[in-house]
Structure 1
Amino acid sequence: MKTPKPVTDRAPEHVGKSGASSVALIAAALGASAAAARYRTSRAEKENPPAGQFVEVDGVRLHYVERGSGEPLVLLHGAASMTADFLLSPLVKMAAERYRVIVFDRPGYGYSERPRSTVWGPVTQAALFEEAFRKLDIDQPIVLGHSWGAMVALALGLDFPRSLKGLVLMSGYFYPTPRPEVALTKITGVPLLGDLLRYTLSPWLVRSVWGLGLKNIFAPGAVPEHFKQFPVWLSLRPLPLRTAAEEFALLNPASDSLHGRYSGLEPPCVIISGDGDRVLSPQDHSARLHAQIRGSDYWVFPRVGHMPHHVEPQQVLAAINLAAEKAADRQ
């Protein structure tokens, strides 16, 4: 009779070595991915240094660009964007012939800071910008907000109605609606894991679908040739990636906290959207907001998507002029 072999819980030695090898390979791959992403973002920073100046507000360093002179006009970009979005559009050059145009990098985008200790919802950002207006001697501007930035502009009008003359709300998100893509961003908010992804895999994953995203925001039209100069890799740095994930997660909580106050908006308001917008439904947001804000104007651009300032800059400027005229009439 053979003596039975003793039972042991210890894994075979080759299994342990295999597991260690796999971990080492994964670590090496993540390290290589991080190094390559850092190289690309560093190169983007060298090729696209800050185009404007900086102002510090409550310990937060904000980057802004000024063009032209005259009545102040402030432009606030949407999520996953920066000043380059407006600066590449024809709108800024056209508006600068009449207005002192100030384009801000919102907190966490471009070259603006975003302290992690603060939840940067639209109300918090509005308070930051109102203070920036005073520091930069921006006296009662017309404020145009695009997409996520439209919520910030609207919060400015609600909380600081005496600090601005009028609002232009372009392709904005104003009411809680189902957003399936928000679930995809939640993993990047997981402590440690989210940070690891932003420095390693996330830049490459986002870059791989960037072209499809552009087609979606400009549909039903084509992506304008001038927008192809947008510095993609500045948006793929860890801070802008974290910022975009946070803002997508805040879409519904932020709009839910604000929409009950819309009917009390005081400054003149012009709402604009494209009827072909595939990013968000104009009926669910812009049209609904127009119905809630008495005295507002609502312009819908035919065959235009989410980016009217690139496709119909003359019409967007006309909306800005209308807001200025309504403010002058009221005064």
Structure 2
Amino acid sequence: MAPRPRFSSVPHHALAALRQRPAVATAVFATGLLAATAVVNRQLARKAERENPPMGRFIHVHGVRLHYVERGEGRPLVLLHGNGTMIQDLQSSNLIDLAAERFRVIAFDRPGFGHSARPRGRIWGPNEQADLFKEALDKMDIDRTVVLGHSWAASIAAAMALRHRASVEALVLASGYYFPTYRPDLAAPSIPAIPVLGDVISNTISPILARLMWPGLMRKLFGPKPVPEKFAAFPVEMALRPSQLHASAEEAAMMVPMAVAASKTYSEITVPTVILAGEDDRLIDVEQSVRLHRVIRNSRLRRIAGAGHMIQQTEAAILMAAIDEAASISAGGGSDPRDVMTTNG
């Protein structure tokens, strides 16, 4: 009779040891689960990138690979998307196509979003991104441009006008956050930005939670209006990649501190500026824009009744009118009287 195969007793001893130490067993199980989750999230991110290849071209600036889309001819117009989104937000809104009928439109994926890189070990605040885009525009031989920034990027647009005054001829600032306020709602979204721990969370838990929270977040951002059908073209899975969630967390963590620093400089903005905000914005109070209008001497304020935060999506025509307005004031070489207008969205 053939001898029975002998199995190593090590797995048995290890299992016995884990049974005697439930805390260790739990830690081992949790570590394994997190590792498996990270692998799945990485695969989903690669799949999203394959299914949503770059729409435009790349330019390298100081070691940063920036993705951008260029459309149309005429006076240059730079479009900068908000936190957590990418070029497809501006594309699906039809704003790029509308603007390209009269302008040379350059829409960037900001660092860490879409297909643009976000090198570690650097601070990517409004000033740093303003300098980066200025260098990119120099490489494109663009001397002066109208700049539109939505939400978080409104601060970048303002920084460009302050730091590179000769390069910015007019500003359009939409749904921006400009002055520091008490924002406890930013605490949880900022956690993935914590060194080391944040990387673990971004690669494991954050994509799962983000998928669960996405519908509710969209209702908050678009409300009181419904999410428009055209937004279905936005690649959600690209926004849920660990790398992009980490970039979003960094910008959420910077939101109040950057407002503290920048709020002291807005009065120095001299270029024609059109400020827009939804009256019913559930993310950033319309009073932020009202207050900015009081500070920037050469500015106009457009309050959009019935609109929320995502006015580039729900009110693209009004945003386009604001671009034309800012460009017209700049071309006229002067500043028309300051005014406030409430527009029905």
Shift of 1:25: 2.1
Q: 2:211 aligns with which of 207, 214, 232?
A: 207
Deviation string 1:198-256 (CA, Å, 9 cap, x unpaired) is 11111111111011111111001000111122111212222211111111111111111
- Residue in 1 that maps onto 2:321: 318
- Residue in 2 that maps onto 1:148: 152
- Residue in 1 that maps onto 2:330: 327
Shift of 1:17: 4.8
Shift of 1:15: 4.7
CA 1:292–1:38 in structure 2 vs 1: closer, same or farther (change >3 Å)? same
Shift of 1:181: 2.0
Alpha-carbon distance in 1 for matches of 2:306, 2:18: 63
Does residue 1:103 correspond to 2:107, yes or no? yes
Shift >4 Å, 4+ stretches: 12-15
Deviation string 1:268-325 (CA, Å, 9 cap, x unpaired) is 1000111111011011x10000011112010111111111121111111110001001
Deviation string 1:46-101 (CA, Å, 9 cap, x unpaired) is 11011111111111111101111111110001111111110111211111111111
- Residue in 1 that maps onto 2:292: 289
Does residue 1:164 correspond to 2:168, yes or no? yes
Q: Provide structure 2 residue ranges, at least 5 long, that are not aligned to the other structure.
A: 1-15, 335-345
Which residue type is aligned with residue 288 of structure 1? R
Q: 1:190 aligns with which of 175, 190, 194?
A: 194
Which residue type is aligned with residue 114 of structure 2? G
Contact 2:271 2:298 in 1 (8 A): no
Q: Report the TM-score, using the length of structure 2 for normalisation.
A: 0.89
Which residue type is aligned with residue 137 of structure 1? D
Alpha-carbon distance in 2 for matches of 1:299, 1:18: 61
Q: Secondary structure at the match of 1:54?
A: strand
Contact 2:179 2:263 in 1 (8 A): yes
Superposed, 1:80-99 pairs within 5 Å as: 80-99=84-103
Q: Provide structure 1 residue ranges, at least 5 long, that are not aligned to the other structure.
A: 1-11
Alpha-carbon distance in 1 for matches of 2:27, 2:17: 16
| Count of residue pairs brought into register by the alignment | 319
Contact 2:270 2:297 in 1 (8 A): no
Deviation string 1:97-125 (CA, Å, 9 cap, x unpaired) is 11111100111111111111211110111
Alpha-carbon distance in 2 for matches of 1:14, 1:68: 65
Does residue 1:309 correspond to 2:312, yes or no? yes
Does residue 1:239 correspond to 2:227, yes or no? no
- Residue in 1 that maps onto 2:118: 114
Q: Report the TM-score, using the length of structure 1 for normalisation.
A: 0.93
Alpha-carbon distance in 2 for matches of 1:13, 1:117: 41
Q: Secondary structure at the match of 1:320?
A: helix
Which residue type is aligned with residue 113 of structure 1? A
Percent sequence identity over aligned pairs: 44
CA 1:18–1:82 in structure 2 vs 1: closer, same or farther (change >3 Å)? same
For the aligned residue pairs, the C-alpha RMSD in angstroms reads 1.5
Which residue type is aligned with residue 75 of structure 2? E
